[in-house]
Structure 1
């Protein structure tokens, strides 16, 4: 139910773009420099059974890649996708927009983490 998101996506490629600026709960302080990534749990489902406690969880996480340029946001999203693919984690783009207040470009992705307890 609490997947290892930071550990999964904090690869050399991703860190080369955002460093350690990967915020849980969909939040990064506005004082942080750009670009950055935020993530939050969207839904979670245990693998229930009748004979014992669940042995694992299926958790959907939303990751949002923010950058000051459109090309930068896409490059960051591709690096995150590569990290998720390397971890054999199904993922998909669900959002591609520009924030009207911050003027940052945003690529939103969902990723399905399957974890054993």
Structure 2
């Protein structure tokens, strides 16, 4: 399996790094975020995917669905970072859904969530 290059795409965009930082960029694979990240941050995970199978020959691409969740101290900060990520990603993949917004009761952080469909060449 080849993973979608979300980190490379996001860190190449100045709008994203302005909101999520540049060194380090606070964009984490699920379960890899620090316990209490400083500032606005994002986590992503693959929620499903499959190779594009053919009757003859090996698949040359894989389709992945990703869930992206942005967390911030305010709703406006979460939305701004989420929209910057969407803007950066949509030239390489498709934003497939908006998954809602809420506020985490344990941390008090605001969450902005969306899904991405990404086709990756093997």
Short-chain TM bin: over 0.9
- Of 54, 58, 62, the residue aligned with 1:57 is 62
Partner of 1:41: 46
* Off by >4 Å, runs of 4+ in structure 1: none
Matches within 5 A, 1:1-117: 1-10=2-11, 11-19=13-21, 20-87=25-92, 89-91=93-95, 92-117=97-122
Where do 5+ consecutive residues of structure 1 fail to align?
A: none
Q: TM-score, normalised by structure 2?
A: 0.89
Q: TM-score, normalised by structure 1?
A: 0.92
CA RMSD between the two structures = 1.2
Distance 1:7 1:114 in 2: 15
The number of residue pairs the alignment matches comes to 116
Where do 5+ consecutive residues of structure 2 fail to align?
A: none
Distance 2:34 2:41 in 1: 10
